[in-house]
Amino acid sequence: MGRHGTIAGRKAAQDSKRAALFTKYTRAIMMAAKAGGDPEYNASLKNAIEKAKAINLPNDKITRAIKKGTGELEGETYETVTFEGYGPGGVAVVVETLTDNKNRTTSAVKHIFDKHSGNLGVPGCVAYMFERKGIILIEQGAGIDEDALLETALDAGAEDMKTEDEYFEIVTSTEDFPAVADALRDAGYALLEADIEQVPNIETEPKNDSELKSLVKLIDALDDNDDVQKVYTNSSVDTSE
């Protein structure tokens, strides 16, 4: 439902794009490790490592990525570049990238927007439609008491919890995200996903199926680019299918 689609759909997408995901998460680990190589004191690094392990990125590659990020090993220098624009139907799109060549990435992202009936805009043109929030997903299953889960999350500083068809979605501020994630892990909950995301506070609905299909093609093309880490939209209609 909504932004995340079905759990089965996400897993299938991960399997089909594993090589590209390896590249993306290796870069994410390198960037996060610049703030410190110990995941116990670096929540962003801990999260990046966990996501990399979830797609079976080999431990030696994780270790090398950390060492490259901390400067123990020589490696490429990456920077974070965020692009904003509009997709078909006027849907706002935010693209987060990690790149060692900003000009190359800018050209590629612009080409993708142009090819798929989008419009790459200037910084800030759609950012006001999103808020950065910590999002934690816990798969529904036997033995999970919803009230106990909610109490654990709220006690640790969570802002809200939503019950979806296949998972519980816990929302936190960016500041409280590490503490809430750690509290849930310590309480024995398995985190399906845990990350800082751009959550829309203003939503737009594609006007028809044609616009929705074009929007999905735009998102897929962006996701296929090695430099792109995350793509967010304010579409009120599921674009993950």
Looking at every residue in the chain, the average pLDDT score rounds to 88
Identify whether 240 is part of a domain. Answer: no
Task: Say if residue 30 is in the same domain as residue 136.
Answer: no
pLDDT tens per residue across span 120-179? 999 999 999 999 999 999 988 868 999 999 999 999 999 999 998 889 999 999 999 989
User: Do 195 and 211 lie in a common domain?
Assistant: no
Place of tokens 């309480």: 187
Q: Are residues 147 and 171 in the same domain?
A: yes
pLDDT given at position 110: 97
CATH number of residue 19's parent domain: 1.10.10.200
**What does the pLDDT look like over 221-231, one tens digit per residue?**
999 998 998 89
Residues 229 and 111 in one domain: yes
Identify the pLDDT of residue 1.
35
Per-residue pLDDT reduced to its tens digit, 80-125 = 899 999 999 999 999 999 888 999 999 999 999 999 999 999 999 9
Whether residue 70 has pLDDT greater than 50: yes
Asked, for residue 239, whether it belongs to a domain, the answer is: no
Q: What is the reported pTM?
A: 0.81
How far apart are the C-alpha atoms of 18 and 225, rounded to whole Å?
A: 13
Listed in sequence order, the residues at least 6 apart from 175 whose beta carbon sits closer than 8 Å to its beta carbon are: none
Same domain, 196 and 206: no
Closest to 65 (Cα-Cα) out of 29, 35, 97: 29
CATH number of the domain that 185 lies in?
3.30.70.980
Question: Do residues 206 and 119 share a domain?
Answer: yes
Rounded CA-CA distance 110/89 in Å is 18
Whether 241 is in a domain gets the answer no
238 in a domain, yes or no? Answer: no
Between CA 227 and CA 115 the distance in angstroms is 18
Same domain, 31 and 144: no
Confidence grade of residue 76 (pLDDT, cut at 50, 70, 90): confident
Q: Which domain holds residue 110?
A: 79-125+202-233
Query: What is the number of structural domains in the chain?
Result: 3
Residue pLDDT, tens place only, 171-219: 999 999 989 998 998 999 988 888 889 999 999 999 899 999 999 999 9
**CB-based contact 75:82 (threshold 8 Å):** no
Q: What are phi and psi of 42, to 5 degrees?
A: -140, 95
Cβ neighbours of residue 47 closer than 8 Å, sequence gap 6 or more: 32, 181, 194, 195
Looking at the fold, whether 14 and 117 belong to one and the same domain comes out as no
Instruction: Judge contact between 188 and 161, C-beta under 8 A.
Output: no
